[in-house]
Amino acid sequence: MQETTEDASALRGSSLNGSSLNSQVPDGPMADKWENHKFNIKLVNPSNKRKFKVLIVGTGLAGASAAASLAELGYEVEAFTFHDTPRRAHSIAAQGGINAAKNYPNDGDSVHRLFYDTVKGGDFRSREANVHRLAQVSVDIIDQMTAQGVPFAREYGGLLANRSFGGAQVSRTFYARGQTGQQLLLGAYQQMMRQVGLGKVKLHTRMEMLDLVTKDGEACGIVCRNLVTGEVTSHSGHAVVLATGGYGNVFYLSTNAMACNVTAAWRAHRKGAFFANPCYTQIHPTCIPASDEFQSKLTLMSESLRNDGRIWVPRNPDETRAAADISERDRYYYLEEKYPSFGNLVPRDVASRNAKTVVDKGLGVGPLKNGVYLDFADAIKRDGKATIEAKYGNLFQMYERITGEDPYARPMRIYPATHYTMGGLWVDYNLMTTVPGLYACGEANFSDHGANRLGASALMQGLADGYFVLPYTIGDSLAPKLGTEPVPTSDPVFQSSEQGVRDRISRLMSIGGTKSPDYFHRELGKLVWNYIGMERTEAGLEKAITEIQALNEEFWRDLRVLGDTDTINSSIENAGRVADFFELAELMARDALDRAESCGGHFRVESQTEDGEALRDDEDFSHVSAWEWQGEDTIQVKHAEELAFEEVPLSQRSYK
């Protein structure tokens, strides 16, 4: 994607009217859309389901639940993961909880309120129908996972317990101490492995998808590389499902596991799947600050901690006293003062930007002055240490192991870090991408969170897509294919894709430069964080595009990949993933440059209210930006899906 001009309009790329995008949202009242849609879409007879093969890439919450559900229905399923076991999926890192509109605390929650909070929390940049469906099925998720034995916390009387998360004034978050993602993943994993034991799911471990195979414009399979032997193989099916997570590691420093990447989704993008809203990235406010510039991973401290912890900084930038010695009048509880209605439980984008603001003013804490305090002294005094330990004990232990500081005795130090990506492959109401037969679930798609995801909604979406949406909608495209066999892997389309994968690996191996993939990844991450991070400007984004291109050219000229291709080789794995991150990063910058407004996690300095809040431009940007691949040397073309807000009227977000 090389530039031929430095003109700003050229940097943004060209734009088309959205005529090629059909969201497939059904007609009728919002509350009835999903039930009516389930009745109206095509079904596959139970005895015919075994005649269809579905390939599922990724075995985290979305992938494992989809594999288990589809196999239980009778489909033949093959599941692929680059891990040695599905239990290593990054879903385990979602610690704090999962939202559902059960209203167990009887505090005014409902399906409509969860729907409203999610649309508002996403700053009115999500598709209403998808969000309402998510809120509807949320209540079924809790029943499903409880039946599978997930040990949710309970109140004294036996009901499942709830706690609060950001962006809501009700308690709707179900949790299993500070290990909710891990426990939910184990529940979905055991259901998938049950189907493996029954022979209905074939599980491929240590296999990385490196290409999507299409024939006559439809997805018909994938090409994978075995990460142990280096063998490149093809796999064919009637449908392909990508449940491969987000692309937060484009920042290099993030809370994502080191292996998380965009490669599967990006390979699909290069084969025709539109990539939607790539500039929508979430910076989580509750992470342990970096300790030096050589750090390669950041650690998330759950948002649930903001229930009882109070966030503050010293009012004096030259403060040297220990936190406990600073008097109340010398403390700046900036979220509580600015947002009295929500306090420390404002949405993540608001909390993150405010943390950056106070640190930029010189009020940061810690050895590098790069954090803010998260203080539990008042909660411990009010409820007792035992109560706080019961709620957050494992999180406190993790913090102490990493920092060497006891959070029971002194405040935690936190600072925002990249955590989640709201952008992803564009999908319609059925979760199908613009490539027929290719579906995207969970964080891999863009559909539910708009420009900012509320806390505890990632687990909800992953399980909703896998357990309660895809098993209904996938039949609509499979039913007309009854009686057809999958395209054989001997077909020229598979041979061509395999050769393309081998050629790309050979090209990376043959560069023979001097710098490692990690060097280029770190340098790219600095550019993305500095120019496409919490604050973006027109000049900065234009500079980002130019510098990303220059660094990408250096990558292809001076990369050094060690080892061989016919054995375990993390260097060649990382090289391929970093190459895809370069192309993604450039598109992120173009998307952010094109969207000349602020909304949610996308904050353009040129578009803010008098008091520094995000200022949307609903007239020009109330749409989804879906980008179409045009080739390596051509800028992607933007397609716009216009968004309509019938149930939640457009308004300026306020959490004060």
Which active-site residues does the annotation give?
348
What is the β-pairing status of strands 331-332 and 310-314? antiparallel
Q: Give dist(CA 106, CA 211) in Å, integer.
A: 49
- At position 639, the amino acid (one-letter code) is H
Which phi-psi region, left, alpha or beta, contains residue 199 (left: φ > 0; alpha: ψ -120 to 50)?
A: left
Tokens of 390: 């019961």
Tokens of 385: 């240490």
- At position 37, the amino acid (one-letter code) is H
Tokens of 394: 């494992």
DSSP-assigned states of every residue in 37-74: HHHHS----HHHHTT-EEEEE--SHHHHHHHHHHHHHT
Who's near 616: CB < 8 A, 6+ residues apart? 123, 124, 597, 598, 599, 607, 622, 652
Decide if 615 contacts 605 (C-beta within 8 A).
no
Q: Give dist(CA 117, CA 450) in Å, integer.
A: 12
Q: How many helices (H) and strands (E) does the chain have?
A: 19, 20
Q: Give dist(CA 165, CA 412) in Å, integer.
A: 19
**From start to end of 139-231, where are the E strands?**
173-174, 201-204, 207-215, 218-226
Decide if 50 contacts 71 (C-beta within 8 A).
no
CA Rg value for the chain? 24
Helix (H, G, I), strand (E, B) or coil at 617: coil
Cα distances (angstroms) measured from residue 118 to each of 37, 166, 423, 601, 606: 22, 11, 16, 14, 26
Among 168, 115, 156, smallest CA distance to 139 is for 115
Q: Give dist(CA 248, CA 417) in Å, integer.
A: 10
Who's near 365: CB < 8 A, 6+ residues apart? 313, 314, 323, 371, 372, 373, 413
Measured in degrees and rounded to the nearest 5, phi and psi for residue 403 equal: -100, -20
Who's near 347: CB < 8 A, 6+ residues apart? 121, 166, 167, 452, 454, 455, 655
Please tell me the number of Cα atoms within 13 Å of 202 on its side-chain side.
Answer: 11
Burial 545-563 (b: 16+ CB within 10 A, else e): bebbbebbeebeeebebee
Count other C-beta atoms under 10 Å from residue 386's C-beta.
10
Cα distances (angstroms) measured from residue 77 to each of 55, 66, 193, 224, 524: 6, 10, 12, 16, 37
Cα distances (angstroms) measured from residue 630 to each of 76, 434, 635: 34, 14, 6
